[in-house]
Amino acid sequence: MSFTATIKEEITRIDENIVESLAELSCIIRNNASIDEDIVITVENNAVARRIFRLIKNIYDVTPIITVRKRYNFNNNFSYILKIRQKVSFILKDLSIVIDSVYQNIPKNYLINDDECIRAYLRGLFIATGSINDPKTSQYHLEFIVDNREYAEFISELLNKYQLNSKVIKREKNYMVYIKEAEKISDFLRIIHAFSGVMYFEDIRIYRDHKNMTNRLNNCEQANMDKIFLTAAKQLHDIDILEEHDLFDVLDEKILDVIRYRREYPESSLQELSEIMSHELGYLITKSGLNHRFRKIREMANQIVKQK
């Protein structure tokens, strides 16, 4: 089962009062029904079909006719078709979808006049047209596909009442309202009361964030190691040039000490080398002092290369 289907199944088990149920059902029918003499709702999730059936039955005392059809796609899933033939005009008016034969693109305020009604409407929106990527397998992404820009802007405003930073873009013949930020997607799941989904989402998000941080630290550590090895290799190369030209005899004792310890510890950083030499030679040799001596070696090696 996809993460989207899991969330839809969870929120179909939420108990609501009559006002919240009206808001949810209004959004579902607005986005997921064809309307003529009958109201025909087609869904692909059994739990969602049961939810819609129960809402219509409880609110309007109308029993929808249910037809199940097999869809011959890759997954061979089923479509659930609910047909409402009774009280059609009354239901459409009561849900602020068609009033006096005029289609209402935006629902009346009485359906979304408080926080719980807005949450219920957004639950209906997710049931009808929502899709969310599993945080374990994909980038963070939550989207809703709606039929026109005015309605898309209305949905975006509802979402942004909760500071979710939703955006609207044109997508073929429809419009997509989407949220990309992981924290905002998690907030949306809380808003629609998908609390099990929130726990799963947050567990995966924390794991991914920790993994990304670990990878960044490992990359930084590897970059530092690469820099140390490269610096040491250049120093050893300069030392080899001095040896090839028999210049060790003219070097002072401090530089000879540096050469000896660099060859003995070719993979050590300057800090590590200064600590080793300070401990073994019995006097303090700072990292700055070592760097100064290696600079002298490099200058001598560069001079020889230029002369050649």
| Pair 33, 182 in one domain | yes
**Cβ 138 vs Cβ 160: under 8 Å:** no
The domain boundary residue, chosen from 159, 193, 227: 193
**Residues 157 and 223 occupy one common structural domain:** no
Together in a domain, 146 and 276: no
Judge whether 201 lies within some domain.
no
Residue 50 belongs to a domain with what CATH number? 3.10.28.10
Q: Which residue range forms the structural domain that includes residue 243?
A: 215-307
Q: For residues 264 and 221, what is the distance between their CA atoms, to the nearest angstrom?
A: 23
Mean per-residue pLDDT for 238-242? 86
The answer on 259 and 146 residing in a single domain is no
Give the list of residues 6+ apart from residue 149 with CB closer than 8 angstroms, or none. 168, 170, 175
As for how many domains the chain has, the answer is 2
40 with 82: CB under 8 angstroms?
yes
250 secondary structure, DSSP code: G
Task: Verify that 244 and 182 share a domain, yes or no.
Answer: no
CA end-to-end span of the chain: 72
Check whether residue 224 and residue 167 sit in a common domain: no
CA 18 to CA 57: how far, in whole Å? 12
CA dist 271 and 266 (Å) reads: 13
With a cut of 70, say whether residue 74 has pLDDT above it. no
Using the 3D structure, point to which of 193, 225, 249 is the last residue of a domain: 193
Residues 6+ apart with CB under 8 A from 151: 105, 106, 175
Residue 10 and residue 118 in one domain: yes
Per-residue pLDDT at 76 exceeds 70: no
Confidence of residue 219 (pLDDT cuts 50, 70, 90): confident
Residue 292 lies in a domain: yes
Which has the higher per-residue pLDDT, 300 or 24? 24
Residues 227 and 260 in one domain: yes
Secondary structure letter of residue 44 according to DSSP: S
In a domain, 204, yes or no: no
Has residue 199 been placed in a domain?
no
For residue 161, the number of C-alpha atoms closer than 13 Å in the C-beta half-sphere is: 15
Average pLDDT rounded to a whole number, residues 176-196: 93
168 shares its domain with 273: no
Q: Does 152 fall in a domain?
A: yes
Q: Give domain status of residue 123, yes or no.
A: yes
> What pLDDT is attached to residue 141?
92
**Domain shared by 43 and 141, yes or no:** yes
Average pLDDT, the chain: 88
Q: What is the pLDDT of residue 256?
A: 87
Residues 48 and 117 occupy one common structural domain: yes
* 206 domain residue, yes or no: no
Sequential DSSP letters for 152-170: HHHHHHHHHTTT---EEEE
Same domain, yes or no, for 188 and 237? Answer: no
Does residue 86 register a pLDDT over 80?
A: yes
- pTM over 0.75? The answer is no
* Residue 232 within a domain: yes
Structure tokens at 202: 């947050």
